[in-house]
């Protein structure tokens, strides 16, 4: 049966994604997919994504249309060009929306580049507001963004009705970058990343393990950003200086087997061996959630971030976080917070001290940590925030 469209209750939203999970990269932009999934609980949604591939790739020239959990994904794989933005723009402009959003009410761009040009053309084509959500850490070092790319990003911003950075700090960086509309206005509404708080839940059992404190790290394991070797070196120092302090740590993520092997070998060279340290690669989200439940704490030692989803996932699981004070993380961890410890990037002594001070949580602390996640990062909370953004953009 065809859906009837009542604009007072639901809108037609076309999402244009610069990053998105695809056959080329299965986890790229998965946080954008989660945003769309949350918004789709209130509105008709369709997401378009273009991933250029090189000549000879069997994906070249193909498209896929997927019906996933209440919204449509259209992915296209054009032949790569230089610059790649040309292929992305052309391929996105050839797509046509399905019947549920045949005439969109909103075009929602996720990450201003490289899909921004296509998004602003589509918004102009239908005469509808353009909303931009931003996740990109490049604004923190914007001097490294090429001039032609800056011009393209600011041109996209000029047409925006609203900007939705995932942290206040990112919003400040975007303003400094001059992401403003043509009237020189900057309507910024911070909307955080979303977490499945029904999947990520606290353990019903008390964690006890002869291996001691159970630590967890979940990321891409990119060294330049995540500083994995810094974590390993800190743990080796802790093991040598406090042989009485028992711990084990699991690293989840990374899709490069050679990289995982090198990290494992490096850990061994430091005297960190299984079961003390393990690298398990990428896991399904359900298994990540189970590991969160069994952990005593999540460790991030990043040199740059905005606000990683894994922090909110840890809180939904009722566990504390040890993390560097980068990006917008401090917005959610005030001094003395039971939600975690903030340390400076590359400060290995501070990381060691925080691990030693990681205490078992009481039931009331677990409940309070989880409540913060539900109130701020749940599907309902994030969907409600975007509903407000859309309604205001249409006024």
Q: Are residues 372 and 384 in the same domain?
A: no
DSSP string of 144-184? Answer: GS-HHHHHHHHHHHHTEEEEEESSHHHHHHHHHTT---TTS
Number of domains, the chain? 2
The pLDDT of residue 102 is 86
Q: Are residues 60 and 158 in the same domain?
A: yes
- The answer to whether position 204 is within a domain reads no
Domain span including residue 371? 213-376
Q: Are residues 46 and 183 in the same domain?
A: yes
**pLDDT tens sequence across 299-308:** 999 999 999 9
Under 8 Å CB-to-CB from 295, ≥6 apart: which residues?
A: 207, 214, 215, 216, 250, 314, 317, 319
Residue 383: is its pLDDT beyond 60? Answer: yes
Q: Rounded distance, CA 19 to CA 40, Å?
A: 18
- Per DSSP bridges, beta strands 71-77 and 106-110 are unpaired
Q: Are residues 69 and 18 in the same domain?
A: yes
Q: Are residues 384 and 326 in the same domain?
A: no
DSSP string of 298-330? Answer: EE---SS-S--HHHHHHHHTT-EEEEES-TTGG
Q: What does pLDDT average to over the chain?
A: 94
- CA–chain centroid gap for 277, Å, is 25
- The answer to whether position 3 is within a domain reads no
Q: Rounded distance, CA 395 to CA 187, Å?
A: 14
**What percent of the chain shows pLDDT beyond 90?**
85
Distances (CA, A) of 203 to 31, 120, 206, 375: 24, 45, 7, 19
Q: Are residues 333 and 386 in the same domain?
A: no
CATH number at residue 172: 3.40.50.2000
- The answer to whether position 389 is within a domain reads yes
How many residues belong to the chain?
Answer: 395
Question: Tokens 């931003």 sit at which residue?
Answer: 134
Q: Rounded distance, CA 300 to CA 315, Å?
A: 14
The pLDDT of residue 208 is 62
Query: What is the rounded (10 degree) CA torsion for 195, 196, 197, 198?
Result: 180
Q: Give 79's DSSP letter.
A: B
Question: Tokens 């990109």 sit at which residue?
Answer: 136
β-bridge partners, 15: 47, 108
Q: Are residues 344 and 278 in the same domain?
A: yes
Q: Are residues 236 and 176 in the same domain?
A: no
**pLDDT tens sequence across 150-164:** 999 999 999 999 999
Edge-first strand listing for the sheet containing 106-110: 62-68, 71-77, 44-50, 12-17, 106-110, 130-134, 160-165
**pLDDT tens sequence across 339-367:** 999 999 999 999 999 999 998 889 999 99
Q: Are residues 81 and 158 in the same domain?
A: yes
Burial 185-215 (b: 16+ CB within 10 A, else e): ebbbbbbbbbbbbeebebeeeeeeeeeebbb
- Per DSSP bridges, beta strands 106-110 and 130-134 are parallel
- Please report which confidence band the pLDDT of residue 26 belongs to, taking 50, 70 and 90 as the band edges: confident
Helix (H) or strand (E) holding 387: helix 379-393
Q: Are residues 283 and 357 in the same domain?
A: yes
**pLDDT tens sequence across 104-161:** 999 999 999 999 999 999 999 999 999 999 999 999 888 889 999 999 999 999 999 9
- Per DSSP bridges, beta strands 62-68 and 71-77 are antiparallel
Higher pLDDT, 73 or 185: 73
β-bridge partners, 73: 47, 66
Pair 14, 118: CB distance under 8 Å: no
Pair 321, 339: CB distance under 8 Å: yes
Under 8 Å CB-to-CB from 298, ≥6 apart: which residues?
A: 215, 216, 217, 218, 292, 310, 311, 314, 319, 320, 321, 322, 323
**pLDDT tens sequence across 257-270:** 999 999 999 999 99
């Amino acid at each position: 049966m065809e859906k009837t469209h009542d604009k007072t209750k639901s809108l037609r939203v076309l999402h244009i994604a610069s990053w998105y999970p695809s056959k080329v990269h299965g986890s790229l932009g998965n946080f954008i997919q989660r945003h769309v999934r949350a918004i789709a609980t209130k509105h008709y949604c369709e997401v378009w994504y273009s991933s250029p591939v090189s000549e000879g790739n069997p994906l070249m020239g193909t498209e896929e249309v997927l019906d996933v959990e209440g919204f449509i994904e259209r992915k296209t794989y054009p032949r790569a060009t230089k610059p790649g933005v040309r292929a992305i723009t052309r391929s996105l402009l050839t797509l046509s929306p399905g019947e549920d959003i045949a005439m969109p009410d909103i075009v929602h761009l996720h990450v201003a580049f490289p899909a921004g040009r296509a998004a602003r053309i589509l918004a102009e084509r239908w005469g509808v507001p353009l909303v931009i959500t931003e996740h990109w850490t490049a604004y923190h070092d914007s001097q490294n963004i090429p001039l032609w790319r800056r011009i393209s990003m600011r041109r996209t911003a000029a047409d925006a009705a609203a900007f939705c950075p995932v942290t206040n700090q990112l919003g400040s960086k975007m303003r400094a970058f001059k992401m403003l509309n043509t009237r020189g206005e900057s309507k910024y509404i911070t909307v955080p990343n979303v977490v499945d708080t029904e999947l990520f839940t606290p353990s019903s059992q008390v964690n006890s393990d002869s291996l001691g404190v159970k630590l967890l790290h979940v990321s891409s394991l990119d060294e330049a950003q995540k500083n994995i070797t810094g974590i390993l070196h800190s743990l080796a120092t802790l093991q040598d200086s406090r042989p009485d302090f028992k711990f084990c740590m699991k690293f989840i993520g990374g899709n490069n087997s050679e990289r995982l092997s090198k990290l494992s070998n490096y850990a061994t060279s430091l005297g960190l061996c299984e079961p003390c340290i393990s690298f398990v690669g990428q896991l399904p989200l359900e298994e990540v959630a189970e590991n969160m439940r069994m952990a005593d704490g999540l460790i991030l030692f990043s040199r740059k971030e905005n606000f990683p989803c894994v922090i909110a996932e840890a809180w939904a699981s009722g566990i504390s976080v040890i993390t560097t004070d980068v990006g917008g993380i401090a917005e959610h961890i005030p001094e003395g917070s039971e939600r975690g410890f903030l340390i400076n990037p590359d400060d290995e002594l501070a990381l060691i001290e925080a691990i030693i001070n990681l205490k078992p949580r009481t039931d009331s602390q677990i409940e309070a940590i989880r409540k913060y996640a539900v109130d701020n990062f749940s599907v309902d909370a994030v969907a409600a925030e975007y509903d407000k953004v859309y309604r205001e953009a249409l006024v």
